[in-house]
Amino acid sequence: MMTSLRRGRPYRLLASGLGAALLLSACMGGTKDDGKDAAAGYDPKANVEITWWTGQTEEFEKVAEQLAAEYHTAHPNVTIKVSSGAPTTDDLLTKLSAGFTGGSYPDISYAYGNWAGDLGASGKTQDLTSYVNDPSFKWTEIPEAARLVATTNGKVIGIPALVDNLALIYNKKLFDAAGMTYPTDEWSWDDFRAAAKKLTNPATKTYGTAYSVSGSEDTTWHLWPMLWQHGGKILDGTKPAFNSDAGVAALETLRQMAVDDKSMYLDQTDEKYGPLFNSGHVAMMLSGPWSLLEIKEAKLAYGVADLPGYNGDHQTVSGPDLWVLFDHNDVNRAGASRDFVKWLTSAEIDPKWNLAVGNLPLRSSEKDTPEFANYIKEYPGGQKFFDNLANAKQARPTLPGYEEMSRNVGDAIAKVLQGQAQPKEALDEAAKKSANSIGS
Amino acid sequence: MAVTFAVTPRSQSAVPAKRGPRGRALRRGLTGWAFAGPATVIVVGLSIFPAVWAFFISRAKWNGISPATMVGWRNYQQLVQDPDMIAAAQHTLILTAIFVPGSIVLGIVIAVALNQKIRLIGFYRTCIFVPYVASAAATGILANFVFNPQFGAANDILRHLGLPQSQFLENQHLAIYLICLILLWGEVGFTTVIYLAALQDIPRELVEAAVVDGASRWRVFRHVTLPELRPVTIFVAVWQTITAMQLFDLIYTTTRGGPLNSTQTVVYYIYELAFQTQRLGYGAAAAYLLFIVTLVLSLGVILYGRRRGSEVF
């Protein structure tokens, strides 16, 4: 009897383990959207508790907590549980995916714009399309590129939390030392290349410009504005289209600087070129407003200009982040989260959030606020970045699978810039690898 | 008959007669589970269950967020044709082929050297072991400082010697070998300590007998010491193979798989698939392939060891 029991145990254990696994594999499914408005019949007076994942570091997290407390004072029936949600913003997606499986996810979460496609496909987001199109929301005050990123599969799933863009930041001292004039908004990529070549000096380890070759999204998204300027597209429907002549021409420009001129510092990590620029070893970098804080701390004399252009087209790329709103089948929670985010992103409150922590203002109407005047004073490049928002005319795709395609394109760019491939073959290969990535 | 008599009273008389044998068995079972339960829950919940679940994930196309699609064995079929996977496997193979024999040979050599009666031996032994105590992450960050092509110490030394500068970890042909070197530096303390213990376990009589028989120092080493070290060597080989095949932290802190994916090992590729590009199903399939290969390799070494008559596992 004992022996047969003993033999039975492992089998039973295995069987119950398998059973539980089968049960959980059911959790790998998403939820189907029922097409109903998540906040239909919402009672603004109801007592609710909503969870807000800010995705911010400690310093900014405190600002968020103050704002939540401020909102609670004005609306005592709404309690907001604020936390950063994850140790870093990058980890939020993993936390969200674990939360979906475990059934405990927040009402509002910070999200990178390139997650929008995947989050939208989860079926757990609210559809805010009609909510934001209400005139009182003033949706069109938010830059178009950011609005596009918040929209996936025709539905608005969140409200932009942060807007930015790429521009040309240059070190004035290095230009003065070389006796060259500063970059202008009218520069072509040929001007940029010629200047980078002149500013490069192997003896002092100074490079004209820098580019990340880590193969990450940082590598990839710097190419997109150049592709658009040449009239190219990232996707044609769900098929990769970046390997067109436009894409090849864009990448060829970069290749000439990296391989032929050797005027480009190639950063294997994403993390070195910023500090190198701040220490005066890189004369020009293509970066966004998030760099301004560290440049200021390095006490560098810098200027900002529009991206160099092709045929007079100087469009740039924007990497907006979002407040994504989730549905918990509770109209009051859904409604309260909407109203809170509307308040947070309003022209009255946003200066206390984005401008206070050194980001660009979310809405065009904020340009006359005293907070914006302070921001410009503190970050002299801020005005240029704000104006440059108008040059962000297209958005990165918000389809599931973009991450995978981005990795393939990043690898292709890295290969070309390190002289291991020609633009055409590398981009063709990336397109072939990504053929089935998008949309499924 | 006598046996039955001897056993049954012992197992039944200890219990009050009112309780039937069933209640007693239940109590004994419960007591047993009270001891084994917590550990079982941890092992089943944190090891076996995730492993089983990962198997289900490996047969799906899933990004952790949208609904999963079951795709059968397609992930596995794609993996064996995936050029990135094949390249990652090659890098892991190079790493293992250099690191495992390297750490064994270096470990024996250093252990023999540290087994002498010389002054400050404790200090030398500590020096060798310290890098092993440091985490691989710290080792990696340190290596970044040393091998930075622009500002690192290694290029400074080359410059003073009048030798050409090197890109080190940023050179795609050199990086994987440098990783081997850094890994060896960090891990050789472990093999040294193991071999040092094994050397001190060798019976003195054996060595003395060989010396009395007129064997030279080399022949004593070759025919007495080395055979005595064989069981330890098999253990070290399996252990270091697993270390090399699961290497992640050092690569994460130095090259992140670059330049041009030339240091992307299988484990790093799995990390990239699952947690960078959110291809959980494909990543889980790659993890299962790695598990099977590690299992087969370990079994192979153990069987080899058993056939040679030394059981270490």
Of B64, B256, B277, the CB nearest to A214: B256
pLDDT digits (tens, 9 = 90+) for B249-258: 999 988 888 7
- In this structure, are residues A341 and A53 in contact, taking their beta carbons and an 8 Å threshold? no
In this prediction, residue B124 carries a pLDDT of 87
Interface of B with A (CB under 8 A): 44, 48-49, 52-53, 55-57, 60-69, 150, 169-170, 172, 255-256, 258-261, 272, 275-279
Write the single-letter amino acid at A7.
R
Range among A9-23, B8-22, B51-65 rated most confident:
B51-65
Residues in B touching A426 (Cβ below 8 Å):
none
Identify the helix (H) or strand (E) that includes residue A210.
Answer: strand A207-212
pLDDT digits (tens, 9 = 90+) for A145-201: 899 999 988 899 999 999 999 999 999 999 999 999 999 999 999 999 999 999 999
pLDDT digits (tens, 9 = 90+) for B257-307: 878 888 999 999 999 898 888 889 999 999 999 999 888 988 887 788 788
Residue in A255, A285, A256 with CA at minimum distance from that of residue A174: A285
Residue in A337, A202, A365 with CA at minimum distance from that of residue A281: A202
Asked whether this complex has an ipTM greater than 0.85, the answer is no
In a mutational test of the A interface, the residue from B66, B75, B178, B256 whose CB has the highest number of chain A CBs within 10 Å is B66
In this prediction, residue A19 carries a pLDDT of 54
In this prediction, residue B128 carries a pLDDT of 86
In this prediction, residue A214 carries a pLDDT of 87
| Residues B247, B179: Cα–Cα separation, whole Å | 10
Residue in B135, B157, B134, B154 with CA at minimum distance from that of residue B145: B154
In this prediction, residue A32 carries a pLDDT of 55
| Residues A312, A403: Cα–Cα separation, whole Å | 31
| Residues B300, B293: Cα–Cα separation, whole Å | 10
User: Strand, coil or helix: what is A143?
Assistant: coil
pLDDT digits (tens, 9 = 90+) for B121-139: 888 888 888 888 888 888 8
pLDDT digits (tens, 9 = 90+) for A314-356: 999 998 999 999 999 999 999 999 999 999 999 999 998 998 8
Query: pTM for the complete prediction?
Result: 0.79
Residue numbers of chain A with a pLDDT score lower than 50:
1-10, 13-14, 17, 26
Query: Where are the domain boundaries for CATH 3.40.190.10 in chain A?
Result: 48-164+319-391, 167-317+401-433
CB atoms within 10 A of CB B100: 21
Of A13, A411, A440, the CB nearest to B44: A13
| CB < 8 Å & 24+ apart, contacts of A14-17 | A17/B44, A17/B48, A17/B49, A17/B52
Please tell me the class of the A48-164+319-391 domain: alpha beta
| Residues A244, A225: Cα–Cα separation, whole Å | 14
Dihedral of CA atoms A217, A218, A224, A229 in degrees, nearest 10, equals: 180
- In this structure, are residues A393 and A307 in contact, taking their beta carbons and an 8 Å threshold? no
Distance from CA of B191 to the nearest CA of A (A): 32
In a mutational test of the B interface, the residue from A268, A276, A404 whose CB has the highest number of chain B CBs within 10 Å is A268
Average pLDDT, chain B: 86
Say which DSSP state A24 is in.
H
Q: Which residues make beta-bridge pairs with A305?
A: A168
Phi-psi region of A41 (alpha: psi -120 to 50; beta: other; left: phi over 0): left
Tell me whether residues B277 and A414 touch, CB distance under 8 A. no
In this prediction, residue B7 carries a pLDDT of 42
Tell me whether residues A20 and B56 touch, CB distance under 8 A. no
Is the pLDDT at B5 greater than 70? The verdict is: no
Query: Where are the domain boundaries for CATH 1.10.3720.10 in chain B?
Result: 74-307
- In this structure, are residues B85 and B265 in contact, taking their beta carbons and an 8 Å threshold? no
Is the pLDDT at B18 greater than 70? The verdict is: no
Tell me whether residues A100 and B260 touch, CB distance under 8 A. no
In this prediction, residue A301 carries a pLDDT of 94
Residues in A touching B164 (Cβ below 8 Å):
none
| Residues A361, A373: Cα–Cα separation, whole Å | 11
In this prediction, residue B300 carries a pLDDT of 86
Say which DSSP state A34 is in.
-
Residue in A342, A319, A318 with CA at minimum distance from that of residue A108: A342
CB atoms within 10 A of CB A108: 27
Residues in B touching A28 (Cβ below 8 Å):
56-57, 60, 62, 67-68
Report the chain B residue with the minimal C-alpha distance to residue A414: B260
Of B172, B256, B278, the CB nearest to A403: B278
Residue in B7, B16, B61 with CA at minimum distance from that of residue B282: B61
In this prediction, residue A388 carries a pLDDT of 94
Tell me whether residues B66 and A121 touch, CB distance under 8 A. yes
pLDDT digits (tens, 9 = 90+) for B201-218: 999 899 899 999 998 989
Q: Which residues make beta-bridge pairs with A323?
A: A110, A159
Residues in B touching A118 (Cβ below 8 Å):
63, 65-66, 278
Identify the helix (H) or strand (E) that includes residue B28.
Answer: helix B21-43
Strands A108-112 and A48-53: parallel
Q: What's the first-to-final CA gap in chain A, in angstroms?
A: 53
In this prediction, residue B166 carries a pLDDT of 82
The CATH number of the structural domain formed by A167-317+401-433 is: 3.40.190.10
| Residues A186, A313: Cα–Cα separation, whole Å | 9
Dihedral sign, Cα of residue B234, residue B239, residue B240, residue B244: positive
Tell me whether residues B276 and A403 touch, CB distance under 8 A. yes
Q: For chain B, how many residues are written?
A: 313
In this prediction, residue B62 carries a pLDDT of 87
In this prediction, residue A166 carries a pLDDT of 95
Strands B60-61 and B69-70: antiparallel
Q: How many CA atoms lie within 13 A of A28 on its CB side?
A: 22
Dihedral sign, Cα of residue B147, residue B149, residue B152, residue B157: positive
In this prediction, residue A205 carries a pLDDT of 85
Q: At what angle do helices B280-307 and B74-81 cross, to 10 degrees?
A: 70
In this prediction, residue A182 carries a pLDDT of 96
Sheet holding A264-267, edge to edge: A264-267, A207-212, A282-287, A167-171, A302-305
Say which DSSP state A284 is in.
E
- In this structure, are residues A119 and A327 in contact, taking their beta carbons and an 8 Å threshold? no
Report the chain A residue with the minimal C-alpha distance to residue B83: A433
Alpha-helical segments (H) within A103-216: 116-121, 129-132, 144-149, 172-177, 189-199
The architecture that CATH gives domain B74-307 is: Orthogonal Bundle (1.10)
In this prediction, residue A27 carries a pLDDT of 54
Tell me whether residues B258 and A214 touch, CB distance under 8 A. yes
| Cβ-proximal residues to B220 (8 Å cutoff; 6+ apart), any chain | B207, B210, B211
| Residues A115, A400: Cα–Cα separation, whole Å | 8
Peptide bond into B83 cis (omega under 30): no
Tell me whether residues B53 and A213 touch, CB distance under 8 A. no
- In this structure, are residues A354 and A362 in contact, taking their beta carbons and an 8 Å threshold? yes
Identify the helix (H) or strand (E) that includes residue A9.
Answer: helix A2-25
Residues in A touching B66 (Cβ below 8 Å):
30, 118, 121-123, 400
- In this structure, are residues A211 and A258 in contact, taking their beta carbons and an 8 Å threshold? yes
User: Strand, coil or helix: what is A368?
Assistant: helix
